[in-house]
């Protein structure tokens, strides 16, 4: 209930009248919820039908019981009293705010009232704005500025300003003024700039307000450049018109040359180092009018692709003929798909039966243009039928409508759309408008309605308000009397004035009247008029309307020169007109200065922005009518949608439209809520809402709001205290012909029903296309219970999860692409529904492969296709039923190594240096040797410049023994003081030693100003005195590992004393607590901080630990909420197959359960994936007492993963429903338990192993094993949960402020596998990893296991194998298993890319030893007719020692004697010898004592080199 309205919110307390008195005394006392010091406040006192004198006392009572302030003390003798009580707002006792009690006492024989509510005293600081004489200065110039202070009524404030400071771009304080006294609210100051000041952005700070100006070396522009282009470009547009104009400051057109670019952003990461936009350049000469106009064709751009930004940016420059002076400008426009949008204007979200419902429909184009003379269709949906009307828009694209509401009941939906049949030539798309209207509650069906004033109201012109009314005879009684209608005019957080209209006794039951409302600055810019009347039957009827008032001021001023054109040096008069005694501040500036950057000029809009926000703090909100759900408070779950028969309807949603937002049982508007949404606290004994309506027989019916064909729905029916048998009938009115179901029940009964059931072949439409809104009708007939209600539900095809998986991310031309498509339903059961089309598109959008009517095998489709040898390079798309999967084709050579950059993900303002590492990595794992160089950059956008400036820190150096170059870049290099949340980009090159081969790498990190902070987690918004209050404190922030293990200090302030509790945080930085609330009453505050934290001046991390404190304010249940049910939170993640014990606390009011205690059912609905999974029931025996706890066991399985909700409720004998819900985090698990394992964890390359598969009998398992580095390089395997589900409820129990839906998330699978963003993580690198080893489908027999023999590939790496299995039981995913493939030693050839025919070159081979002992090896270059080895190399064989973790290089000088591609082969062999390697005896490995490598060498003639 945190209302964002300009005016504070009003809460209402209802004091019931003694039954039977038709003319009973009534009172209405209302006051602002927030009282603003030092202004005058007003409260309103209205007493009527007094038969005897009463004493009225109104006080502001402080918490300490002293210094109370009496606002009114008066004995009222007359039968009626209308009184405005004005008083100076008291100063808050502490700080800027103080919470006090507003106490009213009305004492007399006929009235005995003593009530209090919390209000806030708030010190309202003057609004401050700052004005400089210009926005940009040169060095040596004088900065002149003013500080203006105004109160909320725009009256100047002369309150001293403690400090005015001015800071340079490095945040150094270069000037200050202390204790500055305004003169009639104005402070006039100045400061000369030094001849060589720091250039950049300066800031003036006053009382927390900031104003910026810049100091630059600039030349005043002689002319300005403007760009005219459409505000919006539509996706279907083929061309746009662009006009660029130049005009001198005195108005003459500029002649010159125009150059411009029209660019569209491309969504590629690492934008500092790659091309990020597609552009078209245009140029030309301006015409006589100073303009250059051109037509730009858009065929070169992609207006619909998601890879491209939805915005065009035009950058233009104009060079003046003759002088060469240049001016620039930039302008952007949006690219939008929608063409026509219908919206509702000036409508309410409620209606009053019998009073016409009015509003406006507006039709606009995507560019905001109004659409006249278009037909709009307004469809009214309610009472199980639809009616429609056709309208024609006027010149403004608007249609006013008025609807008769006499026959309306329940929720009514308004659906506005373009009448497509009338615009058959239009090829556009449409965005419809929807409004969901609930009936305004009135027990007697009496209403008041203030007609809306739609236009902005000018100051000084009184407005006439028209008011309609409908009263029933029941409400007025048999002897009509004169009736007072009171109008409270509210603005800027207070009651501005009160108007009154007396309706004579003969005015009739229906009519209209008017009254005049003065309009002045005190109402600007927004006001509210709330009118009410207390009827003879004790019911209050009311209505409110908002007024938009023109921004105006009490002081009417004028300024004018005696002439509007004059010669330089001539004398003029400047005439000023203002209120007597005014002090006027003048400001005149060369318009050329404004061309640099338009100043935030002092104007009406700027002044109105200094108005404070008149909000309503949650700490003084009155508790809502008793409801243990407390849905009216923010961040609390919304479990149910209840309604009372014949008075409340289901919330309807429109055809082929998402389900509407939640509604509450009390979301139907009433007088109580009108006051609540206004600006006052209210005390009254009038009836203002439907609180207290009861029914002896009770029922609760819950069912899903979405039914998934062909799965059955689930309906929960709970009937209580039936006086005789009833018949329950459920009917789904849809095109599917679902048979009704009828049940007989009596007494008290809980029924679970799997309904509706869809039979096979019942729907001819393909399941994927099923999308129908149907009506589910509930009928309960028998005895005095007669219920007939219906609600709309959505019948749709199942939310099938489709994910795709390719065997790798990047392919070469000529390779084979292997991929799988997996289909699952929301319960992870494989779906074999035929896929109409599987298509593959190349980068140009051409279809290069397709498969039609593909049938999955246990939910899996396994496909492949070869790439052509000369295929197009770029990004390819596999598309299946709207889902997409991306892979790339690149013609990359076999990289010898890859380059990597390591940066911290986050850099904070406290960091002095940024650690940066540039590393080389070989596929074999050996150490890289070489040189790194690059830069770390930041793009800084200047306030006064269109272009951005790049600041870079360069680095270079040799790699170390770990293959990395490491450095620390000073954060001060980038001057990031004003650039929080920005990106730093690293770009580096690695140059391999000996070969000259190089690789590049990119990486980014984010700079934030985040300091460590403490938050409260899992805390209830409310507490119940006597029940334990639980929660968690959590330490958040970047780089907080050093703080973990510290202790929290929790300070509990109950207003009567403070309790301190020490909590030790765990390894995750959190600590749970449980507090005794036995002595808690009223407002309680919780304060969390770090215990024993040294003073900031002593702390080495003082900047990081600033403000590491948090506060939380749980509110008490209202005194009338004496019954409570609470399910204790389960904070841990629950493991599947391990039952969880839920503990439940309860408190029942003795009045609610009655004198004769009886057993009571507490029902728990377990909700997950859009349905009721199970229902648990606990019977509390009659002797259980009024307060206690109990537990129940909840089974945890895959059907609840990953999130579930438990909703518990009980219906008390007095008809009140108490309920509570809690969310459960369940570990992601699957019904099919599977496992994958190799027979060995390490194996020699080329050896044979067994791969064992275990799964549910009959499973089909997909196995894929890849080089483990592919996972870290972007290959991902994801199952993404997504959600969408609601429950709907039918009940006549008292739920208080119950919401309309139980939003339980429905997980289903979306696209999985490598995604576009993953592939482009590092576009500058493409390692040719060893790729995919295994890509197999393995069926598992009835024994639940299978084995397959595999051969380890001839490569040193770590293989990672993963597997998922599909069976009728469902999906199973195996944890990853790894296999390390090794060799004792390795020989590697290093060849140049190409050599010149018959020219000598050096051939290099390196031997790496992975053993812990020395080897003596012989390395031989195999003879070849295509290679000629230098004579001094002998037969091409070398011998030598290579010890542990060492490498040795051997070289041959050779010539290539043949053109083309030549095979080069080297063989390394471990020798058995007794000759020592140093002091160590060499060994010969038992396996792998020989290693061979062959590579292709390209030989080219000299002319090609």
DSSP string for 1282-1304:
E----EEEEE-SB-SS--S----
Question: How high is the pLDDT of residue 103?
Answer: 94
Residue 48's DSSP bridge partners are 26
Determine the average pLDDT of the residues in 219-243: 83
Question: How high is the pLDDT of residue 885?
Answer: 92
- With a cut of 60, say whether residue 979 has pLDDT above it: no
Higher pLDDT, 337 or 1320: 337
Q: What is the pLDDT of residues 488-534, one digit of tens each?
A: 999 988 899 999 999 998 888 899 999 999 999 999 899 999 999 99
**What's the DSSP call for residue 1318?**
H
- With a cut of 80, say whether residue 740 has pLDDT above it: no
Separation CA 416–CA 378 (nearest Å) = 5
Determine the average pLDDT of the residues in 175-196: 93
Q: How confident is the model at residue 665 (pLDDT cuts 50, 70, 90)?
A: very low
1215 is written with which tokens? 């008809």
Q: Does the bond joining 442 to the residue before it have cis omega, within 30 degrees of 0? A: no
Q: How confident is the model at residue 1100 (pLDDT cuts 50, 70, 90)?
A: very low
Question: How high is the pLDDT of residue 8?
Answer: 30
- Classified as helix, coil or strand, 1136 is coil
1122 is written with which tokens? 């004496």
Q: What is the pLDDT of residues 684-700, one digit of tens each?
A: 988 887 654 444 667 88
Task: Provide the residue count of the chain.
Answer: 1505
- With a cut of 60, say whether residue 1236 has pLDDT above it: yes
Separation CA 729–CA 737 (nearest Å) = 15
Q: What is the pLDDT of residues 767-825, one digit of tens each?
A: 666 777 777 878 888 876 777 676 778 888 776 788 899 988 889 899 999 999 999 88
Q: How confident is the model at residue 23 (pLDDT cuts 50, 70, 90)?
A: low
Give percent of the chain above pLDDT 70: 82
Enumerate the H helices of 473-529 as residue ranges. Answer: 473-476
Contact 1326, 895 (CB under 8 A): yes
Q: Residue 35: CB partners within 8 Å, gap ≥ 6?
A: 41, 89, 90, 119, 120, 121, 122
- With a cut of 80, say whether residue 1407 has pLDDT above it: yes
Question: How high is the pLDDT of residue 271?
Answer: 38
Q: What is the pLDDT of residues 1201-1224, one digit of tens each?
A: 889 999 898 888 877 778 888 889
Greatest distance between any 2 Cα atoms in the chain: 131
- With a cut of 90, say whether residue 1361 has pLDDT above it: yes
Question: How high is the pLDDT of residue 596?
Answer: 54
Enumerate the H helices of 502-599 as residue ranges. Answer: 591-596
Q: How confident is the model at residue 58 (pLDDT cuts 50, 70, 90)?
A: very high
Q: Residue 793: CB partners within 8 Å, gap ≥ 6?
A: 703, 704, 705, 706, 707, 732, 773, 774, 775, 776, 1288
**What's the DSSP call for residue 696?**
S
**How many CB atoms lie under 10 A from the CB of residue 473?**
11
Q: What is the pLDDT of residues 1325-1339, one digit of tens each?
A: 334 445 789 999 999
Question: How high is the pLDDT of residue 194?
Answer: 92
Question: How high is the pLDDT of residue 601?
Answer: 59
- With a cut of 70, say whether residue 338 has pLDDT above it: no
Higher pLDDT, 1056 or 1420: 1420
Separation CA 873–CA 887 (nearest Å) = 11
Q: How confident is the model at residue 649 (pLDDT cuts 50, 70, 90)?
A: very low
Q: How confident is the model at residue 243 (pLDDT cuts 50, 70, 90)?
A: very high
Q: Residue 48: CB partners within 8 Å, gap ≥ 6?
A: 25, 26, 27, 79, 80, 81, 484, 534
Determine the average pLDDT of the residues in 349-378: 89
Question: How high is the pLDDT of residue 1250?
Answer: 95
Chain mean pLDDT for the chain: 80
- With a cut of 50, say whether residue 1299 has pLDDT above it: no
- With a cut of 80, say whether residue 370 has pLDDT above it: yes
Distances (CA, A) of 515 to 502, 554, 674: 11, 24, 21
**What's the DSSP call for residue 26?**
E
Give percent of the chain above pLDDT 90: 30
Separation CA 123–CA 991 (nearest Å) = 66
860 is written with which tokens? 């899996």
Separation CA 957–CA 976 (nearest Å) = 26
1496 is written with which tokens? 């292709």
- With a cut of 50, say whether residue 664 has pLDDT above it: no
Indicate the range of 64-68, 76-80, 400-404 predicted with least confidence: 64-68
Q: What is the pLDDT of residues 620-629, one digit of tens each?
A: 777 655 543 4
- With a cut of 90, say whether residue 317 has pLDDT above it: yes
Q: What is the pLDDT of residues 1125-1147, one digit of tens each?
A: 888 888 888 998 899 999 998 88
Q: What is the pLDDT of residues 401-422, one digit of tens each?
A: 999 998 887 778 899 998 877 6
- With a cut of 80, say whether residue 1297 has pLDDT above it: no
Separation CA 956–CA 990 (nearest Å) = 10
Q: How confident is the model at residue 640 (pLDDT cuts 50, 70, 90)?
A: very low
- Classified as helix, coil or strand, 1326 is coil
Residue 584's DSSP bridge partners are none
How many angstroms from the chain centroid is the CA of residue 595?
Answer: 37
Separation CA 653–CA 939 (nearest Å) = 48
Question: How high is the pLDDT of residue 719?
Answer: 84
State the pTM of this model.
0.59
Q: What is the pLDDT of residues 934-955, one digit of tens each?
A: 999 887 654 334 445 678 889 9
């Amino acid at each position: 209930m945190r209302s964002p309205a300009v005016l504070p919110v009003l809460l209402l307390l209802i004091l019931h009248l003694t039954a039977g008195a038709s003319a009973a005394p009534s009172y209405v006392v209302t006051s602002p919820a927030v009282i603003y010091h030092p202004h005058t406040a007003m409260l309103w006192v209205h007493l009527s039908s007094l038969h005897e004198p009463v004493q009225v006392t109104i006080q502001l009572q402080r918490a300490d019981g002293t210094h109370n302030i009496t606002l009114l003390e008066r004995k009222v003798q007359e039968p009626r009293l209308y009184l405005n009580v004005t008083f100076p707002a008291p100063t808050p006792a502490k700080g800027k705010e103080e919470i006090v009690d507003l106490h009213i006492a009305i004492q007399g024989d006929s009235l005995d009232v003593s009530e209090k509510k919390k209000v806030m005293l708030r010190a309202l600081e003057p609004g401050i704005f700052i004005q400089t004489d210009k926005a940009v200065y040169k060095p040596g110039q004088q900065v002149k500025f003013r500080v203006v202070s105004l109160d909320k009524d725009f009256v100047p404030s002369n309150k001293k300003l403690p400090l005015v400071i001015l800071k340079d771009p490095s945040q150094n304080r270069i000037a200050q003024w202390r204790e500055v006294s305004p003169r009639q609210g104005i402070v006039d100051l100045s400061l000369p700039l030094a001849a060589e000041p720091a250039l950049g952005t300066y800031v003036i700070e006053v009382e927390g307000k900031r104003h910026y100006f810049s100091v630059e070396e600039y030349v005043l522009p002689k002319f300005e450049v403007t760009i005219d282009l459409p505000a919006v470009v539509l996706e279907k547009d083929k061309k746009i018109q662009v006009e660029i104009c130049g005009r001198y400051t005195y108005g003459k057109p500029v002649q010159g040359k125009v150059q411009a670019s029209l660019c569209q952003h491309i969504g590629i990461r690492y934008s500092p180092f790659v091309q990020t936009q597609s552009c078209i350049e245009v140029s030309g000469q301006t015409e006589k009018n100073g303009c250059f106009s051109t037509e730009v064709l858009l065929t070169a751009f992609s207006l619909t692709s998601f890879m491209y930004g939805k915005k065009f940016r035009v950058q233009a420059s104009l060079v003046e003929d003759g002088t060469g002076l240049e001016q620039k400008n930039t302008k952007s426009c949006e690219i939008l798909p929608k063409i026509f949008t219908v919206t509702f204007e000036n409508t309410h979200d409620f209606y009053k039966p019998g009073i016409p419902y009015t509003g406006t429909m507006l039709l606009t184009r995507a560019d905001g243009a109004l659409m006249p003379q278009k037909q709009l269709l307004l469809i009214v949906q309610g009472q199980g039928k639809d009616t429609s009307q056709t309208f024609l828009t006027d010149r403004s694209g608007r249609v006013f409508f008025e609807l008769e509401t006499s026959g309306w009941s329940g929720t009514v939906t308004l659906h506005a759309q373009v009448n497509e049949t009338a615009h058959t030539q239009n090829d556009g798309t449409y965005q419809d408008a929807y409004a969901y209207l609930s009936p305004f509650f009135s027990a007697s069906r009496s209403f008041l309605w203030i007609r809306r004033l739609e236009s902005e109201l000018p100051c000084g012109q009184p407005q006439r308000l028209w008011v309609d009314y409908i009263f029933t005879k029941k409400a007025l009684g048999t002897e009509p009397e004169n009736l007072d209608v009171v109008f409270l005019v509210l603005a800027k957080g207070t009651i501005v004035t009160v108007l009154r209209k007396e309706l004579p006794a003969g005015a009739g039951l229906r009519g209209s009247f008017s009254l005049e409302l003065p309009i002045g600055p005190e109402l600007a810019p927004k006001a509210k008029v709330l009118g009410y009347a207390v009827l003879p039957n004790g019911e209050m009827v009311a209505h409110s309307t908002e007024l938009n008032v023109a921004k105006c001021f009490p002081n009417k001023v004028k300024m004018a020169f005696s002439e509007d054109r004059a010669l330089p040096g001539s004398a003029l008069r400047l005439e000023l007109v203002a209120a007597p005694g005014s002090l006027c501040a003048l400001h005149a500036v060369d318009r050329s200065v404004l061309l640099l950057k338009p100043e935030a000029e002092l104007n009406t809009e700027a002044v109105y922005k200094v108005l404070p926000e008149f909000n309503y703090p949650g700490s003084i909100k009155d508790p809502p009518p008793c409801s243990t759900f407390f849905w009216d408070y923010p961040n609390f779950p919304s479990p149910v949608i209840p309604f009372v028969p014949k008075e409340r309807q289901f919330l309807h949603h429109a055809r082929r439209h998402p389900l509407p937002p939640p509604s509450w049982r009390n979301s139907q508007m009433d007088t109580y809520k009108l006051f609540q949404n206004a600006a006052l606290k209210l005390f009254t004994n009038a009836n203002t809402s439907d609180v207290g309506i009861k029914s002896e027989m009770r029922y609760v019916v819950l069912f899903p709001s979405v039914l998934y064909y062909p799965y059955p729905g689930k309906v929960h029916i709970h009937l209580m205290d039936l006086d005789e048998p009833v018949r329950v009938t459920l009917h789904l009115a849809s095109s599917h012909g679902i048979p009704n179901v009828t049940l007989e029940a009596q007494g008290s009964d809980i029924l679970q029903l799997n309904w509706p059931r869809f039979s096979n072949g019942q729907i001819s439409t393909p399941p994927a296309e099923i999308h129908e809104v149907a009506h589910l009708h509930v009928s309960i007939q028998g005895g005095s219970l007669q219920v007939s209600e219906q609600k709309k539900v959505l019948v749709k095809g199942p939310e099938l999860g489709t994910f795709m998986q390719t065997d790798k991310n990047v392919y070469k031309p000529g390779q084979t692409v292997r991929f799988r498509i997996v289909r699952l339903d929301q319960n992870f059961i494989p779906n074999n529904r035929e896929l109409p089309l599987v298509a593959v598109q190349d980068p140009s959008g051409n279809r290069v492969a397709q498969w039609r009517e593909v049938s999955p095998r246990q939910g899996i489709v396994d496909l492949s296709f070869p790439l052509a040898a000369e295929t197009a390079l770029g990004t390819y798309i596999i598309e299946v039923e709207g889902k997409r999967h991306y892979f790339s084709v690149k013609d990359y050579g076999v990289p010898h190594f890859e380059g990597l950059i390591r940066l911290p993900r986050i850099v904070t303002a406290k960091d002095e240096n940024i650690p940066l590492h540039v590393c080389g990595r070989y596929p074999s794992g050996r150490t890289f040797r070489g040189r790194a160089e690059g830069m770390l950059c930041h793009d800084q956008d200047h306030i006064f410049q269109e272009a951005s400036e790049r600041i870079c820190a360069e680095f270079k150096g040799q790699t170390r023994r770990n293959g990395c170059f490491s450095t620390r870049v000073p954060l001060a290099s980038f001057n990031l003081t004003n650039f929080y949340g920005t990106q730093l980009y690293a770009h580096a090159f690695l140059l391999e030693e000996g070969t000259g081969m190089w690789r590049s790498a990119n990486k980014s990190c984010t700079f934030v100003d985040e300091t460590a902070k403490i938050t409260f987690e899992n805390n209830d918004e409310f507490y119940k005195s006597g029940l334990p209050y639980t929660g968690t404190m959590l330490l958040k922030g970047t780089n907080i590992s050093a703080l973990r293990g510290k202790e929290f200090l929790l300070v509990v302030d109950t207003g009567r004393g403070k309790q301190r509790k020490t909590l030790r945080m765990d390894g995750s930085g959190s600590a749970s607590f449980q507090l005794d609330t036995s002595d808690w009453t009223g407002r309680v505050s919780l304060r969390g901080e770090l215990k024993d934290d040294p003073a900031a001046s002593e702390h080495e991390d003082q900047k990081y630990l600033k403000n590491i404190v948090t506060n939380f304010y749980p509110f008490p249940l209202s005194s009338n909420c004496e019954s409570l049910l609470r399910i204790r939170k389960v904070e841990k993640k629950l493991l599947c197959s391990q039952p969880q014990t839920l503990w439940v606390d309860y408190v029942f009011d003795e009045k609610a359960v009655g004198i004769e205690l009886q057993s009571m059912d507490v029902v728990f609905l377990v909700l997950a994936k859009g349905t009721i999974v199970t229902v648990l029931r606990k019977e509390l025996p009659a002797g259980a007492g009024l307060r206690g706890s109990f537990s129940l066991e909840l089974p945890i399985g895959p059907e609840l993963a990953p999130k579930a909700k438990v909703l518990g409720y009980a219906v008390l004998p007095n008809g009140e429903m108490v309920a509570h819900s809690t969310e459960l985090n369940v570990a992601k698990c699957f019904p099919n338990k599977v496992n994958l394992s190799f027979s060995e964890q390490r194996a020699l390359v080329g050896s044979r192993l067994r791969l064992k598969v275990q799964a549910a009998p009959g499973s089909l398992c997909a196995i894929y094993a890849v080089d483990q580095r592919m996972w870290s390089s972007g290959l991902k395997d994801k199952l993404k949960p997504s959600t969408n589900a609601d429950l709907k409820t039918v009940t006549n129990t008292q739920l208080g402020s119950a919401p309309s839906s139980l939003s339980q998330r429905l997980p289903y699978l979306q696209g999985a596998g490598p995604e576009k963003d993953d592939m482009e993580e590092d576009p500058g690198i493409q390692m040719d990893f060893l790729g995919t080893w295994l890509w197999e489908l393995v069926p598992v027999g009835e024994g639940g296991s299978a084995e397959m023999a595999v051969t380890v590939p001839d490569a040193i790496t770590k293989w990672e194998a993963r597997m998922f299995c599909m069976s009728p039981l469902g999906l199973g995913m195996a944890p990853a298993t790894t296999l390390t493939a090794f060799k004792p030693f390795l020989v590697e050839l290093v060849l140049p890319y190409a050599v010149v025919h018959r020219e000598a070159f050096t051939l290099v081979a390196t031997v790496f030893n992975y053993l812990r002992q020395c080897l003596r090896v012989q390395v031989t270059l195999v003879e070849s007719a295509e290679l000629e080895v230098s004579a001094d190399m002998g037969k091409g064989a070398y011998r030598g020692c290579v010890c542990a973790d060492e490498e040795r290089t051997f070289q041959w000088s050779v010539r290539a004697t043949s053109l083309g591609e030549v095979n080069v082969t080297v063989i390394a062999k471990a020798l058995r010898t007794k000759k020592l390697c140093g002091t160590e005896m060499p060994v010969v490995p038992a396996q792998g004592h020989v290693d061979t490598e062959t590579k292709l060498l390209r030989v080219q003639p000299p002319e090609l080199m």
